[in-house]
Structure 1
């Protein structure tokens, strides 16, 4: 149990079941008891580890990509460098170190970090103070203008809505109370699913199937697209997910690096769901920006030169460090590890050249 569990039980008892999205929003972002508000969740002592924490090479490759986009789009005098969900600031610190010798790049950037966690803002301040970052609660607060944006494992933590296929059609999955007054999944008996795609209208989808959509993520992708349709720049979104639409329940919870029940102790475990990259790309495209089809993380990092960087680092390392560098490279790029599970999409200004590591636009 948790303090937030008790609050949610009282709320549901008074007003009725809530959407999965509402449950996720409170579990992760409640101002007093939300998971991201109350802790630093990263690393061995936390609940999960992200790619930037595995090796400096990840952030360095992202830096290479960002600087290359800046150069290929005419080196704007001023560019908003934005990271959504910057974690401990590790990715951005590595990216900026890797680009320190790119003429004019650091002088042009204005660093903006979209972060709601007080604990993580403190870590970011320590890592990035030399670049005078400005923090925001949302992307809409970042000034307009040429923009380079990166979002690594950001969209997977945004609230999703879930729908269950019933004999009468799609019904929204909710969080209610069971006979013992504890949190339990239920569904709204009123047929719904207006947010779903035409694929989900297939009458052959069996009862009990689950479909997901992320209105918040789609809205943010639309905002990214709006900005890039009007100004120079590019966005790189990396996460675990799929080219949708798809059927399946992907909502999961992690505590101390182990899976736990989604409804167990809300506010004390990380909640994530797989990202529908097709939905994000479509939202950006509808604004006039140009999205590029998703690529596997391993393929992107390889195209950006991570193998050569690993060789360079190993040449100056002792034997134990060489083993660690190779292990990190394998973990980031191997199809059996993060290399295939994680994917990336790019979004650019309509006149921008094809970004490094990507093929045709969608």
Structure 2
């Protein structure tokens, strides 16, 4: 009796599974498994097969169902072994394990630079001699002054509007904007029209910018209007935003992006026997981070195809590596749309190429190049800017947009009058100040090692004049901006 009852229960269970199996393919997880069935072996999700065997009472054909476990969370393996991994490295490994596979170089770069807790830009001041690298504004006050002249000239071409949004993307310590406002402070009609908008995601750098712009916070007792922050350098209001989209629209806008594009995350592709494969970051068997190639096309391949269409066939065929930056393309779309609708222009100054970028991603720690995967979060990561990609991305948006350049930084600064500025400054300074001015001038406009240097060889100033380039995106109504005529 008991044996017959057990056999009936088993038969009922088998019948229940067999009747539900056809419907189970509509479940999202099982549907995803069917999509993976044509993939390569390395991309097939883990599954458990349950086989149903005929019994003596019911001669049914055997059937198999698969349970896709790829979307289930696998907690990190518990271990009592000591580890030297930083919190960011642990986080990266957890992300890779949670995804069930490697992450793109762009995802790695974004986590390393801007992770809210451990990101390189979020947790420290990385600029200047005591940081990891020196930017042009940190070299000499003349750089910010020349950018201020460019902004003022564009403002005049715009018809001298009474209100203008002056936006800086990634302002660092705020040195460029501070020098710009000091240099322009005598031109009251210009500075009184400005509302400064600093696009900065780092709380540490926001505090430095507040300090270097000599800001004061005016408390509004009425309650209906937000408190104002004013830079006492020129009496201009200042606001901070996490992204360009947060900057209020509706006013003519001047955007400055100095060494901002080079820090946007890039996707790297390598030519293989099966075509272009994206380079990814994975965890090796010894628990270290390593590079691998994707076995299948990735979403970023769409941007790769788009970029290759913008290039000559011969240019692409000679390359074995290509870097693309979807975020640079998307950011340029946002800039171009804003300029098209509100008027104004954008100035982009960065190091890069006037062509497809091959393999430029680098890590810098304490002014020295290090391995990209070495101690993530302790080094700056940057890549060459693809200037043609910026041009094409801007031109996609509107026929009201014109793009000019790139020209070298030396040409840009020279045309704006940096030679006259350094001569004027040299007339009223000490010997030490004169040496600093000459050194800063060479670094901004020179090429290679400074010929006048008499100090230690390891401190020889290296000119950035031809390594950095300038490009402008403007509304056509304003004509061609200086000095791109």
Q: Take 1:140 and 1:165, find their aligned partners in 2: how far apart are those partners?
A: 36
The alignment yields a C-alpha RMSD, in angstroms, of 1.6
- 1:292 matches 2:407: no
Seen in structure 2, the aligned counterparts of structure 1 residues 70 and 260 have a Cα distance that, compared at 3 Å, is: same
Question: Counterpart in 1 of 2:275?
Answer: 169
Alignment partner of 1:45 out of 120, 126, 130: 130
What is the Cα deviation at residue 7 of structure 1? 1.4
TM-score, normalising length: structure 1:
0.95
Question: Counterpart in 2 of 1:264?
Answer: 374
Alignment partner of 2:339 out of 212, 221, 228: 228
- 1:154 matches 2:260: yes
Q: 1:142-161, CA deviations, whole angstroms, 9 ceiling, x for partnerless residues?
A: 11120011111001001111
Q: How does 1:1-362 map to 2 (within 5 A)?
A: 1-15=85-99, 16-128=101-213, 129=215, 130=231, 131-144=236-249, 145-191=251-297, 193-196=301-304, 197-198=308-309, 199=311, 205=317, 209-246=320-357, 248-288=358-398, 289-336=401-448, 337-359=463-485
Q: Take 1:224 and 1:205, find their aligned partners in 2: how far apart are those partners?
A: 32
- Segments of structure 2 that go 5 or more residues without pairing to the other structure are 1-84, 216-230, 449-462
Structure of larger gyration radius = 2
Q: Take 2:149 and 2:285, find their aligned partners in 1: how far apart are those partners?
A: 55
Q: Contact 1:168–1:191 (CA<8 Å) still a contact in 2?
A: no
Q: 1:129-175, CA deviations, whole angstroms, 9 ceiling, x for partnerless residues?
A: 12331111100011112001111100100111111111111011100
Q: Contact 1:67–1:105 (CA<8 Å) still a contact in 2?
A: yes
- Segments of structure 1 that go 5 or more residues without pairing to the other structure are none
Partner of 2:470, secondary structure, is: strand
Seen in structure 2, the aligned counterparts of structure 1 residues 200 and 13 have a Cα distance that, compared at 3 Å, is: farther
Q: Contact 2:194–2:237 (CA<8 Å) still a contact in 1?
A: no
Query: Any runs of at least 4 consecutive aligned residues in structure 1 with deviations exceeding 4 A, and if so which?
Result: 200-204
Q: Contact 1:2–1:268 (CA<8 Å) still a contact in 2?
A: no
Seen in structure 2, the aligned counterparts of structure 1 residues 311 and 214 have a Cα distance that, compared at 3 Å, is: same
Q: Contact 2:270–2:279 (CA<8 Å) still a contact in 1?
A: yes
What is the Cα deviation at residue 3 of structure 1? 1.6
Q: Take 2:317 and 2:388, find their aligned partners in 1: how far apart are those partners?
A: 20
Q: Take 1:201 and 1:12, find their aligned partners in 2: how far apart are those partners?
A: 35
What is the Cα deviation at residue 194 of structure 1? 2.7
